[in-house]
Structure 1
């Protein structure tokens, strides 16, 4: 089997496996697979989230109440493959950075009401 056939077969197998993932329990993982997010993009996302979470905790401790700048940074730095709002809800569902995702969701929902 040549490299192209092997890559196509691997891609096909991953596609089949992604269909087995319950979107209700693992929407973020499914999104990563479906959007062909690379390992580097995935790692960059979690480095950014770790930084934003630290900033959020520090700013909250300092008494800041408006965290809009953090969600703007998140949306601006997110790979173009992923929708910011969809990614936030999916991260929340899978339990990643719950406090930060709760704040992001509050901002999203507040802006949707306006």
Structure 2
């Protein structure tokens, strides 16, 4: 295993960095639980909504989102979650020196509307 070493400067301080090789699976999907949570939040999508769109059990999605590390789910489930969230308008950003992330694909992207009212009627 090979590591890339480097340094970044922040507020006048040097920080050593080490970029660990990606743990991409055979389909090229490396997604963290934090990315999945953030993507769902950007879209205003509930676990139930994502479960309905993907056909995955809500517990599978919760388990995937429960960590900040690589999501502990199968390759097929990771691919399904990523492709569903991307189709809804999220772009996954692979890890670099600043870490992994997500963003909306379009500046004018509207979050999904809740199907149920969010408060008492």
TM-score normalised per structure 2? 0.26
Which structure would you say has the larger RCO, counting Cα contacts within 8 Å and 6 or more residues apart?
A: 1
Q: Which has more helix, going by share of residues? A: 1
Q: Which has more strand, going by share of residues? A: 2
